[in-house]
Amino acid sequence: MPELVPFVKPTGNPGELFFPALGKTIKLIEWREGDFYDSVTRASGAITAGVSLELFRDLANKNLASSNLKTPRRIPSNSEFIMNRVGVLINQAFSNTIATGTDVVKAAYAGHLTFNINDRLVSQGPLVTYQTGYGVTGFTTENNTHVLTTGVPSAAAAPQLLVAQNVTAVDDLGGTIEFRDDVWITGSSVMPVLTGRMVFTLYLHGFIKKAQGS
């Protein structure tokens, strides 16, 4: 079995990290750990087979709770990003609305993510496999309230990409959440019906180089 290349390792010099897959060394004084993210929404009711929700494309009227990008499909100019994790948070709440636990579970198993950089496929699979390490957990006695999230709300538990991905301000980000019909299970359409509106946020986590002059 071939030896796995570590995502990142210290160089031995203070504040320096080396990314073997990229052959790149960074100084933490110039970089910070964080996320680029964007959100999409789906209204209540039956989801039609083949429905897709496009991330990073429509940014109008979104605030920092929903997206931190200003230009469709692009990270900020003069920035650079070394990505090590892709995760989808099925929002447990938005504004004064609480998503139901049944809707969260339905979406986690019915939804499918495809993530590309330019025309290159980076990651693809069911939403249930894309834990972010974010979300709310615990215990509540409130009616119609849940604390369900995909995976464990611990950043240390969220899976990382095997190979670091370098993203620049001229690269296009492409993310699609699609809902497909599992007709093979029962022999007839089994698309989910949502009891309320849902919001999905795609988080790209890694190291972000500060923009020039910041």
Task: Return the minimum-mean-pLDDT range out of 121-130, 171-180, 188-197.
Answer: 188-197
Q: How do the domains of the chain map onto residue ranges? A: 32-209
Fold for 32-209, please state it: Jelly Rolls (2.60.120)
- pLDDT-derived band at 104, boundaries 50, 70, 90: very high
Q: How, if at all, do strands 165-168 and 173-179 pair?
A: unpaired
pLDDT at 45 exceeding the cut of 50? yes
Indicate the pTM of the whole model.
0.86
57-96 pLDDT per residue, tens: 999 999 999 999 999 999 998 889 999 999 999 999 999 9
| Mean of all residue pLDDT scores within the chain | 89
The residues, ordered by sequence, that sit 6+ positions from 52 with a Cβ below 8 Å of its Cβ are: 176, 177, 178, 179
pLDDT of residue 211: 58
**b/e per residue 45-79 (b: at least 16 CB within 10 A):** eebeeeeebebbeebeeeeeebbbbeeebbbbeeb
